[in-house]
Structure 1
Amino acid sequence: MSNLKLGVGIAVACAAALSLPIPAALAADDDELEEVVVTGSYIKRDSFDSASPLTVLDQATIEASATANLGELIADQPYNYGTSFQTNTYAARPQVSNSSVANMRGLGTRATLNLIDGKRVIETNLVGSIPSVAIARMDILKDGASALYGTDAVAGVINVITRKNFSGVKTSFFFNESDERDDFQEQVYDIIAGSDTENGHITMAASFKRIGELQIIERPEFARSQWSKSGTGHPGTWSVPNRDSVTGVLDGTATRTPDPGCGVSNGPGGTDLAARFNYLSGELAGTTCRFHFGETWNYMNPSETVNFWMNYQYEFSDNLSNEFDVVFIRFETESRGSPQNPGGRVEEFPIFLGDHPGNPFRAFADTDGDGAIGDGERLYAQDADGDGIPDRGTADLNGDGVMDVLLSATPFDSTSGIAFNEDVDVIALRALGKIGLLPGGNQPSGLSGLRWDGANNGNATWEDTDWRITDTLTYSVPDSSWEIAGTVIYAEDYNTFTTKNSSQTALILGINGELDPDPDPSVLAQYWNPFASQALNCVDRICTDTGVATYQNSVAVLDAVHFNGRNLSDTEFSSLQVIGTGDLYELPAGMMQAAFGAEWRKVSFMSRQGPNENACDWHEGGCEFDWNASQDVESVFFELVVPALDSLEINLAGRYSDYGGGIGSDFNPKVSMLFQPIDMLSIRASYSESFTAPSLGAQFGSDNCGLQTMMDELTGDFEATFRVRCLSGNPNLTPETAEITSVGVSLMLFDRSLNIGVDYINYDFSDRIAQTTGQQVIDQDLARFLSLGNSLTDAAAVAAWIGPGGGESPNIIRDSSGVLTRVLAGRMNAQTMEHTAWDIYARYNLDTDSFGNFAFDVSATYAEEFSYDLGIGAAGQGDGAGSQNETIGEVPPVPEWRAVGSINWFMGGHSAMVRVRWIDEIDQDILYFGAYNPPTLDDMLYTDINYAYTFDSLIGDRSTKFEIGARNVLDEFPDPIFNLGGIESYLHDIRGRMLYVRINQDI
């Protein structure tokens, strides 16, 4: 989009706001801000003036954001990159719509600290952190704060301030849905109640939120354009032995051959990727049978969230008070995904014998070289005992570890023996697909099989229960400005995660015809049939859809092969903090204020995997074992506010932390200053050192396996097939560290009606913990292969490298045919990043006598630099500013420019808002299957509107507020691209226009 178009869009927004014939009043009285603790400081102040860059989103701003999702609100901020608000769980950087975590500056979700009323939380999901009706404001500190808060406060802090002094009863209803498509809905029900008590005050709030489901096929244009095909199919691709065209004897070679049923049955959906049940038996692409998985996935996952919050304040005396908080969150979500994932342990599969009743590879000698079975080319084998099974000798000419079938004396004579099929080895195969019967008949309650539409659980099905209790006892020292507060926090997060997988044991038994899934002793052991013959009739390597299968799988077999397991995790957090604040010393320019404190904190984590994972019976990943770990930290910290001059305030802070285990100790200082030489001008600057301690999972977690797209240039495989990457913990990790420098200027003009400002901020991030991707492991090994003088065109050198005893890394695992199946990766302190950004903002308040009050806001962020070094050589170095960064998992898409502008209007009981959100173009940097993608993703302009009217006494003498609005009112969509999901879902919204209504009622 051109700058002209951007300007026109903003002009249209302005004109729309100014032409609305309806009026409201500016809420928020400055008098209410008597003494507050501003985020980024422990010392009370009489204003929001801060020496660090700080954004404050008040309740009116939050309500006007046209969303009830705090994660979406954070994602809208121009300095936030990489917060998921929709689902793309199979993308390079998985995203989950119902788990939005702040990612300020794109430096990683663990680099942003989340607080509620200035106190640490363990649940970072902003979707359901606290009932939205209970939020008074959100403070967003945009530089490092580890000197005050400890670990994780590297990129900044998000502090949710609650309405703890609310009195009365208020209810709120929010309903959100896509417009004429009517394919996605969201509802939120809120209530808050507060009242004074004897010597105290109590406030309670509750919320129920339901988010609907949006399937990928409900956006047909994107479903058809996306990359949703996998080279690991069902039916699969096989290594089939070749025979001499004259004698019929095995010649010791093999040919990559797709299942003969591949592409035969397209099903009701045909070849339309936006239709359900498309490509039922796969898509034939050369020598590969591909699987199309897009129809089984979601853009938005359905979820339900129940929240409860309570705050109780009690004054024992004028000097002693107590504050007690409770937060409870219950979160349930479902997801959809492929019937089964690719990337399983197929290298451990035995050879599929020709005796397998579903094997479609009829043995023949291709005498005419056309690749098809013709008259006189069928081969026949000896059957001396007449059992119908071909006899085998003592030779293994093709080296597959299985003795070869003995040909009859006259192998082309049908009367000389029996027909037989070839022993074949799997190259690419997923355990379940779209063809044939599906599991689900005999699953335990709550662990059902596949859905009616063939989808299985995706990568984001879980139940989460989170609760936190906080108690703060505050003592005001008589005849002194000093207060001493002691805070105790206990929190727990209990998560049940549902996984889909296949039993490796059952698969192998089924391959050999030894699977006995039926408790009825009269039912014999059965085969598992992964060939197309489970649904098609296959004769002489030709399959047809006659409605009669050659060998159909039983539901009992499929239920034995497939399982949905439940993995449990439990995180416990305990904290004890004591802090004293008050005046320290009178200086010529004013009172020096101080805060001194100490904190003890402990985190414990327990992980319980399912029985299949613990028994190494997990087809996709192998093993994943139960584990426990804990870590405690002791800290002391201080803060000084020094009025050096009447116009200059200097802040000094520092925190010393001593970690248990091998992490050691660390000291983080922060120095900042606020210079106000004249009333209209503020100059601020800060320097700080921050850190992020490695998580318990990063240090001690057992192998955790998942899917990643990988290309294997060494063997000429450029299909970006999904393969398994297994990641384990590293107990020797050290904290990530950062140096943060910021400088800012703000100017107040026209009797403080106009506020303009700019902030420069630089993050120099080192010792970042690298989670090596599977592709990086492969690329490093390839570089080592080439550095030794080898050539990719030298087939013998490649074969020797990947063969037994070769030079290939033991972390790369291949099957017997050389196909890469699994990569073992690790974590290490290897990465460095430097991010430089400029935040620009302006606000103008215009009060008129006849037309109401207007507030004009604009904020923008320019990402000047996002350089990175991932610690893997030249391939892991670059500058991500202005790029999609699809292949760099640690760096989200970073547009050079992002901007948000709004016009708010208030008059009497009326209010209205028009807001535009502009996202700059970014460079694309990946091609899947060599398909064309434009070199850039165009910039986009989204427009949001709302209108509200407040009735003073619609119901009795209580106020009622009606609000209607739309997010993306112009129904803008980016052009579809050929990637996972067809859209860059970290930047752009697949839902389109979303209409909403909100009703707030005082009771």
Structure 2
Amino acid sequence: MSHYKPTRLMGWLFTGSLLYLPTQCVGAQEIEKISVTGTRLKRSIQSDSPIPIASIDAKVLSTIGANDVRDLIETLPFNAGAQNNSDNLTQNFTVGTSNINLRGLGVSSTLVLLNGRRQVVSAVVTDQGASFVDTASLIPTLAIQRVEILKDGASAIYGSDAVAGVVNFISRDDLNGSEVQYEYRKRMSDGSQDETKVDFVFGSDTGSSGHVLVAASYLERSSLVLSEVDWVQPAFSSFGNPGSFVVPSLANDDNPDGLTVADPNCVQNGGSVSEGSNGNSFCLFDFAPQITAVPNEDRLQLYMRTKWGWNDDTELWFEAGFADNDVSREVSPSFPVLNAPSVLSSHPNNIYDEDIFFRGRPFGVGKPTEINFYSHQTTRVAFGIDGAIGTDKFWQVSYVNAKNEAFLNPKDVIADNFQFALFGFGGINCRQDLGVVAGAGECLYFNPFDPQASANEQLRSYIIGDYIGNVESETQVVEGVIAFDELIEMEAGFAAMAFGMQYRKESIRSVYDALTQQDRFAFLIGNQNVEGDRDVKAVFTELRLPIFEQLELGLALRYEDYGDLGGDTTDPKVSLLWHASSNLSVRGSYSTSFRAPSVHQLKGVQTNFANITDPRDGSTTFGGNRTVGDPDLVPETSTALNIGGTFSANQFDMDIDYWRFSFEEVLTRESHQAVVNAFADDPERVIRTSAGTISIVNTRFINAEAIDTSGIDFNIIYQWDTRFGRLTPQFSGSYILEYDLTDNTGVVNDGLGRLNRNTVGNPTPKLKGSFGINWQFEAHSANVFFRHVASYENDVTLEKISSFNTLDLQYEIDLGEAIKVGVNTNITVGVVNVTDKAPPFVDIAGSYDPRTGDPRGRRAYIKLKVEF
């Protein structure tokens, strides 16, 4: 890596290239060529690139008040729709993970690297079946030197998953000494959510050409449940306790299976009555207060990297990482029972004179929340050799082996046990032998007509069971690259070329307990064991041609073969860089990209729940959505175009880029609602209970839709030196011009400025940006950030979602060695969201959009860092 130092402050978030100019190097020190994300060829300066790169150094992570990578992702204006909030309904098994979603093109469409090399995808997938790299498990914060973000397609360089861009985390390699950082952060609004984080890093040169880096981080975070906030609105479920009953004798033409009636004591026992269509009535349960916005987390990260110079031309390196995150989350006292169990006329508390069906949950109003547990663990080992032949030839060989494992332990109602309890044969010690009398001895009745019945609580451990899953994902990568910096001498300079080969092995494995495999749960249904793998082979090349002294042409080509599981593809990339003057450079790139279906989408099985409207009677209920992989899926393809420029003069820098992506054959899953609408009476696609309610919808992963999106990124920064220090204002953002979504019938929907709740798209406000001012004077510095997310529309209710504007403040003082000789001390205090701005209201469960809004409110923090 480069050892030159720019003389101007560059510790800010840039949406274009960092403007490091050769004239800014210290003294006459020679500029060392470095590796930059987005190319296999080394460059003299990072800004000398025809592709749009944002580079965020370690200082920025502190300056913007980020506690972890998730906070950094939230500030990126070109990120849209990342799933980093703990939303109970749309982010289930992924709780405790974080991801990035460049351009709103899907969390699977951004390739995440560590020191330029691939990472294993998380063992858990999103509710939409998308695989992603868990950025929360990569590397301790203090070990990060910088994060480089390539914002255009890069499949020609890196292969699959780089369709929307690349995020490359680069570790420190120049630290000599130790650093310890302690941070305490507390929510200053309603509620008691807080977090404590301790980071440690040690670095040292070993000999004349080696270096070792060791880092550790521990985070303890407490939960925030929506019952603690004052902005949450009720979210009603028609499956409650008190519940409702389907009475067959009241059947009519509109309700052939029976009329649904609310519990007569619904209101007295804490519920609320809703009159539905066709004469039905429901006792509603408000589950919004039990939604967890921030889960309890205990996260440990360990990282080590060492390099050693074998000789003057050869360097060996090794790195290892480990991350463990234990997560718990509060949920409703019990989940709904979707299979509509029977209550016999013989039940001693049955107020009807016939057999009926129960529509509800065993525990609801006034009962304590249930706790679900999850654990995510990542281990990674990588090693390689970097070498040089002379001064113009470079080669690399590397191997990566990484595994992500997740333990899933939500709790749910065991459907048949609950049914037995309604029949009077409930209880762990109840033996249903011939002659045993219902409700006698150790056999108990569950009373659905009285939420406070003592027998109900006695039956909790019999009714509620553990859904247990052990899932894992593993990746192995072998790669070799050789680069020629002086391939052919041309009139304007030397042409450069790189050539490489890569082999990847990707596998998934899911093992569930017997209850889960047998689909015995009343809400989560269950899941099936899955095992699958595939081999991927690739060759690639890159060429850089100096056409004129000021004009450079770049060409890249990659062939990737997935065998029988995904086919093969060839993707080119063309780029141009024109130095129009000493102050202005213009860049442009065009490429085709692809994303092969994941192993999960090819071979996996996924069951989660969804809101389903039944076309038979218009009622909306929760139901299971089981999606099955399809080995005949093909890669989604795209084209990416970027045209931009960089202008720098005196103390003023500006970057601007126009970008456009066009996706086809987008990998997604069938809409469960579309399947129900089309196949309401097909028992293979829509599975119903004996009461006629929908239990499971069977869907598939498909190639179906298209996305066309374009926009403009901009970044302006000015440095102003005064008697009282340096002021550095900055304005940056991303303005979306187009976000068109084409469904599998050819209908084009305008998703720009919309929530895109029922489409393949993501929430897409037209503008995301920030304005900040940094002040530095001697040992003091302060930062003010104003962040803006434009208003957008709920495309389901057609209601406006207000803009989200927050203000952050930070002050930092460098005490030097004032406390102890030989130990440098730095103290930082700050407040995030000073005005305690609540996330804009959205008419969905939880009252906010978890992929755009932030529910955490005002947070104050203090950070102590010592260097020795």
User: TM-score scaled to structure 2, two decimals?
Assistant: 0.89
- Which residue, 42, 45, 48 being the options, matches 1:44? 42
User: Distance between the aligned counterparts of 2:95 and 2:178, measured in 1?
Assistant: 31
Which one is further off, 853-862 or 141-150? 853-862
Compute the displacement of 1:304 (Å): 1.2
Query: 2:528 is matched by which residue type in structure 1?
Result: F
Compute the displacement of 1:639 (Å): 1.1
**Helix, strand or coil: the match of 1:425?**
strand
Query: 1:990 is matched by which residue type in structure 2?
Result: P
User: Distance between the aligned counterparts of 2:540 and 2:83, measured in 1?
Assistant: 34
- Which residue, 115, 120, 144 being the options, matches 2:113? 115
Query: 2:443 is matched by which residue type in structure 1?
Result: Q
- Which residue, 613, 619, 622 being the options, matches 1:722? 622
**Helix, strand or coil: the match of 1:147?**
helix
Alignment-derived partner of residue 160 in structure 1: 169
State the Cα deviation string for residues 629-668 of structure 1 (Å, max 9, x = none): 0111011111111111100111111111111333121111
Is 2:368 aligned against 1:454?
yes
Gaps of 5+ in 2: 1-22, 122-132
Q: Is the 8 A contact 2:111 2:166 kept in 1?
A: yes
Query: 1:497 is matched by which residue type in structure 2?
Result: L
Compute the displacement of 1:63 (Å): 1.0
Q: 1:614 to 1:843 in 2, by over 3 A?
A: same
Query: 1:423 is matched by which residue type in structure 2?
Result: D
- Which residue, 332, 355, 378 being the options, matches 1:423? 355
Q: Report the structure, 1 or 2, having the larger strand content.
A: 2
**Helix, strand or coil: the match of 1:835?**
strand
Map 1:224-235 to 2 at 5 A: 225-226=233-234, 228-235=235-242
State the Cα deviation string for residues 518-569 of structure 1 (Å, max 9, x = none): 179998463542512353xxxxxxxxxxxxx4x83362x3322210222001
Compute the displacement of 1:454 (Å): 1.6
Map 1:95-110 to 2 at 5 A: 98-110=96-108
User: Distance between the aligned counterparts of 1:332 and 1:984, measured in 2?
Assistant: 25
User: Distance between the aligned counterparts of 1:105 and 1:530, measured in 2?
Assistant: 52
Is 2:491 aligned against 1:588?
yes
Compute the displacement of 1:951 (Å): 1.7
Q: Is the 8 A contact 1:343 1:822 kept in 2?
A: no
Map 1:348-427 to 2 at 5 A: 349=341, 351-361=342-352, 421-426=353-358
User: Distance between the aligned counterparts of 2:256 and 2:611, measured in 1?
Assistant: 32
User: Distance between the aligned counterparts of 1:87 and 1:596, measured in 2?
Assistant: 43
- Which residue, 484, 487, 498 being the options, matches 2:398? 487
Query: 1:296 is matched by which residue type in structure 2?
Result: Q
- Which residue, 201, 206, 229 being the options, matches 1:192? 201
User: Distance between the aligned counterparts of 2:787 and 2:237, measured in 1?
Assistant: 35
Compute the displacement of 1:329 (Å): 0.5
Q: Is the 8 A contact 2:257 2:692 kept in 1?
A: no
Alignment-derived partner of residue 882 in structure 1: 753
Alignment-derived partner of residue 386 in structure 2: 474
Identity, % of aligned pairs? 25
Map 1:591-670 to 2 at 5 A: 591-670=494-573
Alignment-derived partner of residue 5 in structure 2: none
Compute the displacement of 1:115 (Å): 0.7
Compute the displacement of 1:129 (Å): 2.1
Q: Is the 8 A contact 2:145 2:170 kept in 1?
A: yes
Alignment-derived partner of residue 713 in structure 2: 839
Which one is further off, 512-521 or 591-600? 512-521
Query: 2:368 is matched by which residue type in structure 1?
Result: G
Is 2:246 aligned against 1:256?
no
Query: 2:140 is matched by which residue type in structure 1?
Result: P
User: Distance between the aligned counterparts of 1:923 and 1:622, measured in 2?
Assistant: 33
Q: Is the 8 A contact 2:338 2:622 kept in 1?
A: no
Q: 1:94 to 1:841 in 2, by over 3 A?
A: farther
Q: Is the 8 A contact 1:468 1:491 kept in 2?
A: yes
**Helix, strand or coil: the match of 1:992?**
coil
Q: Is the 8 A contact 2:242 2:450 kept in 1?
A: no
Alignment-derived partner of residue 293 in structure 1: 287
Q: 1:242 to 1:344 in 2, by over 3 A?
A: closer
Compute the displacement of 1:99 (Å): 2.0
Compute the displacement of 1:51 (Å): 0.8
Compute the displacement of 1:865 (Å): 0.9
User: Distance between the aligned counterparts of 2:257 and 2:292, measured in 1?
Assistant: 43
State the Cα deviation string for residues 959-984 of structure 1 (Å, max 9, x = none): 21111111111222245443211122
Is 2:689 aligned against 1:852?
no
Q: 1:831 to 1:975 in 2, by over 3 A?
A: closer
Query: 1:993 is matched by which residue type in structure 2?
Result: R
Compute the displacement of 1:472 (Å): 1.2
Alignment-derived partner of residue 911 in structure 1: 781
User: Distance between the aligned counterparts of 1:107 and 1:137, measured in 2?
Assistant: 24
Map 1:298-377 to 2 at 5 A: 298-342=292-336, 344-346=338-340, 349=341, 351-361=342-352
Q: 1:972 to 1:507 in 2, by over 3 A?
A: closer
User: Distance between the aligned counterparts of 1:709 and 1:935, measured in 2?
Assistant: 20
Compute the displacement of 1:431 (Å): 4.1
Q: 1:938 to 1:433 in 2, by over 3 A?
A: closer
Is 2:825 aligned against 1:998?
no
Compute the displacement of 1:192 (Å): 0.7
Alignment-derived partner of residue 407 in structure 1: none
Query: 1:42 is matched by which residue type in structure 2?
Result: R
Alignment-derived partner of residue 378 in structure 1: none
State the Cα deviation string for residues 116-147 of structure 1 (Å, max 9, x = none): 11111115222342111111111011001111
Alignment-derived partner of residue 364 in structure 2: 433
Alignment-derived partner of residue 861 in structure 1: 734
User: Distance between the aligned counterparts of 2:226 and 2:555, measured in 1?
Assistant: 52
Alignment-derived partner of residue 852 in structure 2: 987
User: Distance between the aligned counterparts of 1:187 and 1:137, measured in 2?
Assistant: 23
User: Distance between the aligned counterparts of 1:700 and 1:95, measured in 2?
Assistant: 19
**Helix, strand or coil: the match of 1:663?**
coil
Query: 1:533 is matched by which residue type in structure 2?
Result: D
- Which residue, 507, 520, 526 being the options, matches 2:443? 526
Is 2:647 aligned against 1:747?
yes
Q: Is the 8 A contact 2:754 2:795 kept in 1?
A: yes
Query: 1:234 is matched by which residue type in structure 2?
Result: N
Is 2:426 aligned against 1:509?
no
Q: Is the 8 A contact 1:895 1:921 kept in 2?
A: yes
State the Cα deviation string for residues 841-890 of structure 1 (Å, max 9, x = none): 21112233x2222222111211111111231564xx411111122233x3
Larger Rg: 1
Q: 1:554 to 1:950 in 2, by over 3 A?
A: closer
Map 1:773-784 to 2 at 5 A: 773-781=671-679
- Which residue, 214, 217, 239 being the options, matches 2:224? 214
**Helix, strand or coil: the match of 2:382?**
strand
Map 1:736-775 to 2 at 5 A: 736-749=636-649, 751=650, 753-775=651-673
Query: 2:806 is matched by which residue type in structure 1?
Result: Y
**Helix, strand or coil: the match of 1:335?**
strand
Compute the displacement of 1:239 (Å): 2.3
**Helix, strand or coil: the match of 1:295?**
helix
User: TM-score scaled to structure 1, two decimals?
Assistant: 0.78
User: Distance between the aligned counterparts of 2:333 and 2:481, measured in 1?
Assistant: 54
Q: 1:88 to 1:872 in 2, by over 3 A?
A: farther
Q: Is the 8 A contact 1:359 1:533 kept in 2?
A: no
User: Distance between the aligned counterparts of 1:499 and 1:881, measured in 2?
Assistant: 36
Query: 1:38 is matched by which residue type in structure 2?
Result: V
**Helix, strand or coil: the match of 2:450?**
helix
Q: Is the 8 A contact 1:432 1:530 kept in 2?
A: no
Q: Is the 8 A contact 2:770 2:786 kept in 1?
A: yes
Alignment-derived partner of residue 766 in structure 2: 896
**Helix, strand or coil: the match of 1:698?**
helix
Alignment-derived partner of residue 602 in structure 2: 699
Q: Is the 8 A contact 2:475 2:507 kept in 1?
A: yes
Query: 1:424 is matched by which residue type in structure 2?
Result: I
User: Distance between the aligned counterparts of 2:476 and 2:257, measured in 1?
Assistant: 63
Compute the displacement of 1:746 (Å): 2.1
**Helix, strand or coil: the match of 1:862?**
strand
Compute the displacement of 1:688 (Å): 0.9
- Which residue, 619, 627, 631 being the options, matches 1:731? 631
Alignment-derived partner of residue 383 in structure 1: none
